[in-house]
Chain A
Amino acid sequence: MLGGYTGKYLDINLETGTIDKKNLDENMTKQFIGGGGFIARILWEELSSDTDPLGPENLLILMTGPMTGTLAPTGNSWYVGFRSPTTGIYGEGRGGGYWGPELKYAGYDYVILRGKSPKPVYLWINNEEVTLKDAEHLWGKDFFDTTHQLEADHPGAKVLGIGPAGENLVKCASIMSDLYRSAGRGGAGAVMGSKNLKAVAVYGSQDIKIADPEGFKEILAEANKLIYEHPATATLLPDYGTASLVNGMNAFGALPTRNFQSGVFEGAENISGEKMAETILTKTRSCFACNIRCTRYTMISEGEYAGVESEGPEYETVDAFGARCGVDNMEAIAMANMNANRLGMDTISAGTLISFAMELHEKGILTKEECNDLDLNFGNHKAMNTLLQDIAYRKGLGDTLAEGVREAANRIGKGAEKYAMHVKGLELTATEPRAAQDSGLGHAIANRGGDHLRPWSPAFTLFGFGNEEMGLTGTADPIIPGDKARVVDAMEKTAVFTDLNGMCKFTVLCNTLAPSHLAKLYSTITGLPFATDDLVKSVDRTLTLQRALNLYKFGMKPEQDTLPERLLKEPAPNGPAKGKVVELAPMLKEYYEHKGWDEAGYPKAERYDELGLGFVKDQM
């Protein structure tokens, strides 16, 4: 077996309780690497258009990559794959922390969970010993309490699991690990809840083989030096965290505010990373093998929100519960962040849902009575925190919102869809695309729906982090559509490659590590010759297979590569992008051409052959 892999995985049927240990297919490792590549290949093989996302036939795949658990910079990531109950299409999430490395140390590259357990259970993996255990006593507990209980029962174990939101099949329920790390997007927590699986505790004590230890040490030293010397990864991220983006995004008019009515928030400074550092930040932390240390640890000891203690909030959370809800109270945001972690909810989608309801209330579409008797005005942070709980427990309006913003708008009617900020059913993230056109394209074409992470191209178009090896140099103009397809495609390459391997994107987003560094890390770990061209091809292979899954298995139409009407038709009311809408059509056309897809957005047959995906053609 190649270095970096344990060579084994677990295939578990929750309905029958059967636990199979299987050998990894080495050919699959060479073609699909790991992470989202493996997930797409397995889902392609096993799921069909009839798969009910919340039915026993859906799979829940807990995945790692070859760098997970190694000392590769930020080699800490785990992934979850599934058909999303929120969107109906490809679902994938990523978490950091320590759980992923522990699974590798236990001897497994991934775990496939199928079927539905007849009663609540948790999975206990202790190296070779793998057992399903009764979880009746854990069902109903929040994720913090669940973790503490399982850590007490299994000293040294790392815990992944769901909170009440997942049990209640809330469509934005996340899978959490290590107390505060979240794979949030697309409702993985609901899939786990639908299987009556509360948690996976894991303990491992085995090594991961590195194929070329001397070569690995050499590239590791170079990579770590670059990270320590880069101003963003050495100073800004550790000092101010991801929320350092708040003031920066606001300056560009790219901070989504009041449900994307604007990209400029007058209260931004009060919820910025700088303000957090001055007030509620107590220390910083890092995930496994990370020398960036961007994680915030915050505590509030007095006042209305005394008792709040959690990691975060991160930038996306600050915007979701802050600017988007018109809230400029940092402590209220920290409370919502902590509760979302306890309840097991994606903060991005939860904030989107609440700001959507706030706008419906503002527009008179929802009355106060229909809002659970809350004064659901923008800026009302108490109401925001109450509604968050109501969504997790499906109370009143919360029950409607728990279906996701697309379905909630359908159920509410009265023109609510106009205010539902999603792509393909997944709620949008914290970049105002009218001020960063490339972000509009990125959201429109992302395989899991309204997603910013494959890639987060504003790192180049707004903040100037280029990538010489991928041809991204000079200064981009974020408010015009020209050349954005090339930018998005280039940024995808490094971002998605980290997602195949188990690394965090913060190693590449600031142009700290280049594709050639990633290729060398991969090559020395696995022992396979691998160059930048191979990296490019591996990413295209993964993204193309994920798109094929959406098109041929999950019923997606290319017409769904679009954005909410507001962003396409309502000119930005203020800020640097005042008067601009997202000019999506020319960017999409250029992107399709760039990818080797036809004008309608379908990858051409020969493209599948070039990428070694000939098996897709049988389903076309």
Chain B
Amino acid sequence: MMTITVKVMGPLIKIVGKSTITVSLPSEATLRMLLDHLFECYGDELKNEVLNEDRTDLAPYYKLLVDGRNSKLMAYLDTKLQEGQLVHVMPPIAGG
């Protein structure tokens, strides 16, 4: 097993109840497995927010970052996680 830290932002904080959680996952778990774990813990409310309407992908402009890098620059949802990594679940954020 390995420990992953997950940070959420925006409307996800209310759903999860806090901004940072730690999760135990099997070694070499992927981002997809992490998401499934989060959906098990926090139910449809989280799933409805994070996934698109047909639930085949992340909702538009949602991102998963692994140690601050966009997972689309890695293997996206199939990215294998490693002990101690930090994952951000990031909703659409704008400003400037």
Q: A residues touching B (Cβ–Cβ < 8 Å)?
A: 231-233, 235-237, 239-245, 247-248, 251-253, 269, 272-274, 294, 314-316, 435, 452-453, 456, 458-459, 463-465, 475, 477, 505-506, 509-510, 575-576
Q: Complex: how many Å from CA A477 to CA B72? A: 9
Q: Are B61 and A315 in contact (CB under 8 A)?
A: no
User: Within 8 Å CB of B95, what residues of A?
Assistant: 237, 241-245, 294, 314-315, 506
User: Within 8 Å CB of A231, what residues of B?
Assistant: 59-61, 91-92
Please name 6 further chain A to chain B contacts, defined as beta carbons within 8 Å, in addition to the given A273-B10, A464-B61, sorted by A numbering. A236-B93, A245-B93, A458-B96, A463-B93, A506-B95, A510-B92
Contact with A along B1-30 (1 / 0, CB 8 A): 000000101110100000100000000000
Q: How many residues of chain B have a CB within 8 Å of chain A?
A: 25
User: Within 8 Å CB of A233, what residues of B?
Assistant: 94
A-B contact pairs, 18 of them (CB 8 A): A232-B92, A236-B92, A239-B11, A240-B10, A241-B95, A245-B94, A248-B9, A252-B65, A274-B9, A274-B19, A294-B95, A315-B96, A456-B96, A459-B94, A463-B61, A464-B70, A465-B94, A475-B72
Q: Are A576 and B67 in contact (CB under 8 A)?
A: yes
Q: Are B88 and A236 in contact (CB under 8 A)?
A: no
B52 CB, nearest partner CB in chain A, Å: 11
Q: Are B10 and A244 in contact (CB under 8 A)?
A: yes
Q: Are B91 and A251 in contact (CB under 8 A)?
A: no
Q: Are A252 and B68 in contact (CB under 8 A)?
A: yes
Q: Are A463 and B72 in contact (CB under 8 A)?
A: no
Q: Complex: how many Å from CA A252 to CA B65? A: 8
Q: Are B96 and A239 in contact (CB under 8 A)?
A: no
Q: Complex: how many Å from CA A506 to CA B94? A: 8
A541 CB, nearest partner CB in chain B, Å: 24
Q: Are A247 and B67 in contact (CB under 8 A)?
A: no
User: Within 8 Å CB of B88, what residues of A?
Assistant: 251
User: Within 8 Å CB of B10, what residues of A?
Assistant: 236, 239-240, 244, 273-274
Q: Are A475 and B96 in contact (CB under 8 A)?
A: no
Q: Are B93 and A505 in contact (CB under 8 A)?
A: no
Q: Complex: how many Å from CA A435 to CA B7? A: 19
Q: Complex: how many Å from CA A475 to CA B7? A: 22
Give the residue of B13, B72, B96 whose beta carbon is less than 8 angstroms from that of A242: B96
Contact with A along B52-96 (1 / 0, CB 8 A): 000000011101010111101100000000000000101111111
Give the residue of B59, B61, B90, B96 whose beta carbon is less than 8 angstroms from that of A251: B90
Q: Considering the complex of A and B, which 8 residue pairs feature the smallest CB-CB distances, nearest first?
A: A576-B68, A242-B95, A456-B96, A475-B72, A248-B93, A232-B94, A245-B95, A232-B92
Q: Are A236 and B94 in contact (CB under 8 A)?
A: yes
User: Within 8 Å CB of A453, what residues of B?
Assistant: 96
